[in-house]
């Protein structure tokens, strides 16, 4: 019979509610308060609710992408920013293979 070692740390120890940490709960609470503050003028001054509801939805989506969704330990928004800003050329010649061969030839010729 095979013995299998299972880890007991399946559930996050620092999770408070629904698997979320305190930092995530506080961040989402602040995001919800900001979204409510954005939509409240529509009710107070009898303005068009569609514009304010759209703005509050965008704020909530940004809050979820910053505080809740994580990819490899980084927030989703930061991960997307890094993915689009730090584009790397992954073709075989971008790793310096051809350039290094030229440098080796030049160094041999100099000696």
- The domain in which residue 70 lies consists of 22-110
Domain count, the chain: 1
In a domain, 63, yes or no: yes
Q: Describe the crossing of helices 22-44 and 49-63 by its angle, rounded to 10 degrees.
A: 170
In a domain, 3, yes or no: no
Residue closest to 59 by CA, chosen among 40, 79, 80, 84: 40
User: Tell me: the pLDDT tens digits for 11-27?
Assistant: 556 667 777 888 889 99
First-to-last CA distance in the chain? 65
Q: What are the residue ranges of helices labelled H in 6-110?
A: 22-44, 49-63, 76-85, 97-110
pLDDT band at 71 (very low <50, low <70, confident <90, very high): confident
Number of residues written out for the chain = 111
In a domain, 15, yes or no: no
In a domain, 6, yes or no: no
User: Tell me: the pLDDT tens digits for 87-107?
Assistant: 765 555 555 555 566 666 676
In a domain, 41, yes or no: yes
In a domain, 17, yes or no: no
């Amino acid at each position: 019979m095979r013995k299998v070692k299972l880890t007991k740390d399946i559930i996050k120890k620092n999770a408070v509610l629904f698997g979320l940490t305190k930092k995530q709960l506080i961040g989402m609470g602040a995001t919800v308060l900001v979204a409510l503050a954005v939509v409240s003028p529509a009710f107070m001054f009898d303005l068009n609710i569609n514009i304010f509801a759209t703005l509050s939805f965008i704020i909530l989506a940004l809050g979820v992408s910053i505080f809740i969704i994580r990819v490899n330990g980084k927030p989703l928004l930061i991960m997307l920013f890094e993915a689009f800003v730090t584009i790397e050329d992954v073709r075989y010649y971008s790793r310096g293979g051809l350039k290094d061969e030229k440098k080796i030839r030049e160094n041999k010729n100099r000696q």
